A = this chain, B = another copy of it.
Amino acid sequence: MSMSNPLQYNVLVGQSGGPTAVINSSLYGIITASHKNKRSISHVYGMIHGIEGFLEGHYMNLTDELDETDLELLKNTPAAYLGSCRYKLSENLSDKIYPILFQKFNELNIRYFLYIGGNDSMDTVSKLSLYSEKINSNIRIIGIPKTIDNDLVNTDHTPGFGSAAKYISSTVREIALDSSVYHNKSVTIVELMGRHAGWITAASVLARKYAKDNPVLVYLPEVPFDMEKFANDIKTEFTKKNNLVVCVSEGIRDVNGTFICEYGNDVKTDNFGHKMLTGCGKILENFVRDQFGIKVRSVEINISQRCSGIITSLTDINEAAMAGYYGIETALKGMSGQMIALNRLSSTPYKVECKPVDVTQVCNKEKPFPSEWITCDGTNIRKEFLEYIIPLIQGEPEIKMENGLPLYCYRK
């Protein structure tokens, strides 16, 4: 460690949970804010693989190891530069894990710990800040939200959602073009992420180039799914159009709460006798083929919707960086146990500010897609949602290319 001013402390940052396109943009914000506050902050350390890796002694010195060029690349690099983990801290604040962690914090002269993540990570922030308070430590713990699922409460939206929405709606728009090239009747089912909340699937309606365009039907987990009604919905749409695109959340369930993706899992085994896990898209594909005897495809967008850097929202990137930046400023003010929320001041013109919110009021809660934004028949999204989401997908970053491909920042 370099010689440090006695009034200077270090920052520790970790990334946790599933990747997004902008989790590194928040890291960028934290690093740049720290470097701008040199009188208070000496170094920024990064946990490798979150709390879990840190407990095993894995961390890096971000201040010394990343130069300006790396930092600019980092801002537009998807996935988690520092690596991630899914690690749940003990509910019991007397557990020995807490003094172990805080001893490690002290060894690195950490005063500010920022954790970038979703729901579970906010749980970690909550527990660590409660423990810090309990032992009268000066260590400030701040959460920076990220999740493509947009399901955190007390924030207008979460960094990561805008880019995922933009990737998904662009991709569905292209799939709709592709699915319309043949004259014959066809159904293309697009399965999107969202086990519990339908925000991402709702975003697919942005793909429409004009009213009544594809996707013509949209099914979210918030509305119980019924196979028979689904068949009728398809039938009705076929009276208007030959090539249908249908978007569904992976987490759609029937009225009994059974996931549609579970409909097939008890019977499917491969040649080796192994159980095959199938998404709901495949189940619906089969169902439609049987009911209508037409060409059906299912497309699972899969992990690209959370880790693509090809098309991202500059608004999202800037807000993720801003949340990281503001996280440092909030910590420097002496606050702890806060998540940096995004507070929308207006939609036209779009204006947003960062605001610390009590993390104990955020963690372990979920914000479903609002039922008042779903049409009565449960297959479409109301225009109020468009007013909400359109500002979040605006703008594109300049992507640095090398030899024809996007250049990304990675741990050597």
Interface check A122, CB cutoff 8 A: no
Main secondary structure, interface of A, reads loop
Q: Is the pair B274, A289 in contact by a Cβ cutoff of 8 Å?
A: yes
Contact B268 A209 (CB under 8 A): no
Contact A310 B79 (CB under 8 A): no
Q: Give the segment of A5-13, A339-347, A400-408 that binds chain B.
A: A400-408
Interface residues as binary, A44-75 with B (CB distance below 8 Å gives 1, 0 otherwise): 00000100110000000000000000000000
Smallest CB separation, A176 vs chain B (Å): 9
Chain B residues whose CB sits within 8 angstroms of the CB of A310 once the complex forms: 167, 170-171, 174, 310-311
CB-based contact B174/A79 at 8 Å: yes
Chain A 283-310 against B: per-residue CB contact (8 Å), 1 yes, 0 no?
Answer: 1001101100000010110111011111
Asked if A410 meets B209 with Cβ closer than 8 Å, knowing A271-B264, A404-B395, the reply is yes
Inter-subunit contact B182/A83 (CB<8 Å): yes
* Residues in A160-199 with C-beta less than 8 Å from chain B: 166-167, 169-171, 173-175, 177-183
- Which of A's residues lie within 8 Å of B, judged by CB? 15, 19, 49, 52-53, 77-80, 83-86, 166-167, 169-171, 173-175, 177-183, 206-207, 209, 263-264, 266-272, 274, 276, 278, 282-283, 286-287, 289-290, 297, 299-300, 302-304, 306-311, 313, 390, 393-396, 401, 403-406, 408, 410
The contact sample of 10 A-B pairs, CB cut-off 8 A, is A49-B182, A85-B182, A166-B404, A271-B283, A272-B286, A276-B276, A276-B278, A297-B303, A299-B304, A395-B404
